[in-house]
Amino acid sequence: MNFNKITELIKKKNIQLKEFIPKNTSLGVDGFRYSISHRTLKVTDLEKISKGLNVPISYWWDDDAEYDFEDPQRYYGRSANEIINELRDDKERLKQRVDELESRLGLKKDGTSGL
Tens-digit pLDDT profile for residues 4-23? 888 888 999 999 988 899 99
Domain extent, residue 56, equals 4-69
58 found inside a domain: yes
- 55 and 99 housed in the same domain: no
- 9 and 52 housed in the same domain: yes
115 found inside a domain: no
pLDDT band at 56 (very low <50, low <70, confident <90, very high): confident
What is the CATH classification number for the domain harbouring 18? Answer: 1.10.260
- 101 and 61 housed in the same domain: no
- 57 and 92 housed in the same domain: no
Question: Own/partner pairs for 85-88, CB < 8 Å, 24+ apart?
Answer: none
- 83 and 32 housed in the same domain: no
* Domains: count for the chain: 2
How many residues comprise the chain?
115
- 88 and 65 housed in the same domain: no
Judge contact between 6 and 36, C-beta under 8 A: yes
User: For 57-112, what is each residue's pLDDT tens digit?
Assistant: 888 886 655 555 555 555 556 676 777 778 888 889 999 999 999 999 988 666 56
pTM of the model: 0.53
- 84 and 54 housed in the same domain: no
- 92 and 46 housed in the same domain: no
Which residues does 99 contact at the CB level (< 8 Å), separation at least 6?
Answer: none
- What distance lies between CA 9 and its chain's CA centroid? 18
- 14 and 42 housed in the same domain: yes
